[in-house]
Amino acid sequence: MRKIAALLLVASLLAPGMAAALDYPVLDNQVETRRRHLTWLLSLQETSMEAVRDYIDEISDGEGSARLDAILDEYREAVADIESYDTHVGLNNYIRSLRDVTTSFREETRERMSQHDGRPVVLLVRIAERIDEDSERLEGLRDEYWESKNRNTLANFDIRVERAQHVLDLLEERGYDVSEAQAKLDEIAALRDELEAALGDHDNAEILRVSLEALELSRQLADHVRDLQVQVPGKRVLQHWVNVGERVLDRTDTIIDELGRLDLDTGELEDIHGEAEGHLALAVDKLNEEDYEAAADALRDLKDSLLELRDAYLDLVFPEGYPDELEDAMETLGERLEEMADNLEESLETL
């Protein structure tokens, strides 16, 4: 495996048409993991560059490696600075700047190999030998990368599942039927074992396959949730208006009492209020029986009674003889009753 890596690395140094060792697929969205991955690859490349420099120094009798030494020092300084980058954008710019350094090293190597009749096969052997000598350190860096990748990938997976479950739990508490969405989330959660196994095997191809499957299922889950959020359950709509009706009738009952204490004839108001209470009680009964159509009809009757109450209240509004606060309350109540009736009818039309 190390000899294959050496072949790829020296090819990147000598062949301008091949990808540099820094070009690697970003399979993880965590900056820490990317840094660990880069640290491993950059150290592998640095070891290879040292072997190249030593070989050029040998075939040129010490006269052809000065420029390579300078470029290698520049490369080492850049590698030492990797921990200062804590964003993906920063790391992308860092990779681009390093690519310029490795390009200079590759071009200088080609020129010196040609000038001093260097033998590529011998150079490959020297690189493989140097990597073998440095294998303990390089394998340690590789293990650090995989430990970071395993930890962060599984942590991200768990966080996404937990957040999605929290959303579904909230929707269910509010009356939404989340059965289809929950089944889709369960499919996603079931992929964790496959992902963990692939990470343990260091199998990038399998990691990518499982990740893409989870991504597709997550998109389907998002579609389910989006559909749920725009389709409010009929029961929830009806329960909302039952609650509103209870508050409104409680308020109108208070106003009727206040008018009665002013020795006004509130008989008509009390009759209409009683009818409204009957419609509301019927709506509650039908809602509990899950007869949503009958509950909606009862709420429409409630709406009509409330509009009658509004008109009756307005007939009693005269500027003289009433406390200002009572007149204001009656006027405000009339406006609210009309607004509530309009909103109620609009909601019931969607059922």
Q: What is the DSSP letter of 165?
A: H
Measured CA angle at 177 (ends 174, 179), to 5 deg: 130
% the chain with pLDDT above 90: 41
Q: Which pLDDT tens digit goes with each residue over 139-191?
A: 999 999 999 999 999 998 998 899 889 888 888 877 778 899 999 999 999 99
Contact predicate 148/32, CB 8 Å: yes
CA atoms within 13 A on the CB side of 237: 19
Mapped onto helix, strand or coil, the DSSP state of residue 212 is helix
Higher pLDDT, 314 or 337: 314
pLDDT at position 320: 52
Element (H, E) at 19: none
Range ranked top by mean pLDDT from 91-95, 318-322, 325-329 = 91-95
Contact predicate 242/284, CB 8 Å: yes
Q: In 45-171, at which residue ranges do the beta strands (DSSP E only) sit?
A: none
Does the structure show a pLDDT above 60 at 23? no
Mean pLDDT of 199-207: 93
Q: Which pLDDT tens digit goes with each residue over 283-307?
A: 999 888 888 889 888 988 988 888 8
Q: Which pLDDT tens digit goes with each residue over 107-153?
A: 999 999 999 999 999 999 999 999 999 999 999 999 999 999 999 99
d(CA 154, CA 258): 65
H-helix segments, 134-233: 135-173, 179-190, 192-200, 204-230
d(CA 149, CA 320): 80
**CB-based contacts of 21, cutoff 8 Å, min separation 6:** 8, 9, 12, 41, 44, 45, 102
Q: Would you list the domain boundaries of the chain?
A: 2-133, 149-230, 234-349
Contact predicate 112/56, CB 8 Å: yes
pTM: 0.58
Does the structure show a pLDDT above 90 at 232? no
d(CA 341, CA 25): 60
Q: Say how many C-beta atoms besides its own lie within 10 A of residue 258's C-beta.
A: 17
Q: Which pLDDT tens digit goes with each residue over 78-112?
A: 999 998 988 877 888 888 889 999 999 999 999 99
d(CA 165, CA 173): 12
Structure token digits, residue 51: 């072997």
Decide yes or no: CATH 1.20.120 for domain 234-349: yes
* Residue of 30, 135, 21, 38 lying closest to 80 (CA atoms): 38
d(CA 329, CA 289): 36
Does the structure show a pLDDT above 90 at 235? no
d(CA 51, CA 215): 43
